[in-house]
Amino acid sequence: MTKNSDKPLVVGLAGFGTVGGGLVRLIEENADLIRRRSGRDILIKKVLVRNAKKARNVPLPDGAELVTNPRDLTDDPEIDVLVELIGGIDNARDLIDRALDQGKHIVTANKALLAEEGLSLFQKADRKKRILRYEASVAGAVPIVEALKESLTGNRIQSLMGILNGTSNFILSEMTSNGLDFDVALKQAQHLGFAEADPTLDIDGHDAAHKLILLIRLAYGVHYPYTALSVRGIRGLSALDIRLAREFGYRIKLIGQVRQVPCPEEKADAKECGEGPVRLEAGVFPALVFHKYLLARVGGAYNAVRVDANASGPLFFHGRGAGDLPTAGAVLADLLAVARDERPNNTGFVGKELPKAAIVPPEEWRSCYYVRVMVQDTPGVLRDLSGCMAAEGISMAQVIQKSDEGQGVPLVFMTHETTAQAMSDALQRTLEAGLLKEPAVYFRVLGGE
């Protein structure tokens, strides 16, 4: 790359909403710091919007022009880097694809696009020798992308788990701290601007899943298809389970997790364990986290990521996961890296193609479990439940029986470690035996520090 230490970095900004407005503010407010850190100014030349007549909260930068035709950004030879903040997949993909064809670097916050279709964009950026940076796509202000791509490259990542969606964490925090029902907590999140009118991506776990896919790519240098990821959200989670989990000393959190798992001895044939360079167990799911662990203490709309690596040991990253300035600050950091003419290192691994990960099937996941069943208050029911568990090799560690809730008696127990398949089979046995008044509720139990 040609060094341009005194030439301003010229930016084409696609999207002038919350984050785009925050970026414009930061570039203006931090102009002296930008020059000291990069030796260059950052100038926004054009801003792509859908409606140029719409009133905006942040003034247009001096000398910048509002445009509505994407090619005014992608085809302008003076623009060095495209900042994509429009979101979505199809339009954003087409915009980035053409900008790469025109020789532009890319900075984006689009986790959905990079998770579902990012592989081809990374390959194209590699062919074009262009930078594609995306710190703002995961956890807002938390610098986890750069940490995995640069600071931790001397480590083997053993596991990574985190709270990757602020909306869901806010809802769960309100349910835990204030005893709210799920629907009430969701409406409160929408009223405060933490949740969209359609909260599907957040509460059904898909937003966290998009981010987890990017972190897997950075941590292990493999392609884990988004469609192969196990995803379970928090929609309709019961305040009763929040309350009962607390009695055991736990908090329920929506967790995104990946961990490297060795091939079991009974699968000596490598083909049975998959052909990827690493064997990974990954998914998004609600889980019980012990109240003294740091992840359990992450409240409100904050995000957090715990990384366990063979050299560094456990590391914990925590901060604001969304919002105008936190996210804009991450976008600006990426722009500064481009301004310093840093060489492309888009996935943190060399090579044009990332190998596909070997995937541990969800039914083989091992964990302790929290289980709540609604039963009739009759003699022998606990014995019969224990028998169904024992038939699948599951032993109970703790049991709590509560008073009648009107639809039966809640019987809650924690199990010793077992597989997801064994747990599913055992609960199916209890259902077929007529022991349950409604299907059981169960969650994984996780540890940490």
Q: Which residues are annotated as a binding site for NADPH?
A: 111
Residue 141 region, left (φ>0) first, then alpha (ψ -120 to 50), else beta? alpha
To the nearest 10°, report the CA torsion of 118, 119, 121, 126: 140
Classify residue 343 by its DSSP letter: P
Lookup result for tokens 């709540």? 372
| Contact call for residues 283 and 138 (beta carbons, < 8 A) | no
What is the C-alpha to C-alpha distance for residues 184 and 171, in angstroms, rounded to an integer?
Answer: 9
Please tell me the total number of residues recorded for the chain in this structure: 449
Beta strands in 2-64 (DSSP E): 9-14, 42-48
Beta-bridge partner residues of 67: 48
Beta-bridge partner residues of 319: 303
What is the C-alpha to C-alpha distance for residues 374 and 383, in angstroms, rounded to an integer?
Answer: 15
Is 54 a residue of the active site? no
Q: Three-class SS of residue 272?
A: helix
Beta strands in 291-448 (DSSP E): 302-309, 313-320, 358-359, 366-375, 396-401, 409-415, 418-419, 441-446
What is the C-alpha to C-alpha distance for residues 245 and 172, in angstroms, rounded to an integer?
Answer: 12
Distance linking the first and last C-alpha atoms of the chain = 43
**Phi, then psi, of 16 in degrees rounded to 5:** -130, 40
Q: Which of 45, 211, 352, 356 is catalytic?
A: 211
Q: Three-class SS of residue 260?
A: strand
DSSP-derived secondary structure for 84-150: E-S-SSHHHHHHHHHHHHTT-EEEE--HHHHHHHHHHHHHHHHHHT--EE-GGGSSTT--HHHIIII
What is the C-alpha to C-alpha distance for residues 302 and 304, in angstroms, rounded to an integer?
Answer: 7
Lookup result for tokens 């804009």? 328
| Contact call for residues 8 and 40 (beta carbons, < 8 A) | yes
What is the C-alpha to C-alpha distance for residues 230 and 220, in angstroms, rounded to an integer?
Answer: 18
Annotated binding site for NADP(+): 14-21
Which amino acid appears at position 179 of this protein?
A: G
Residues taking part in catalysis? 211
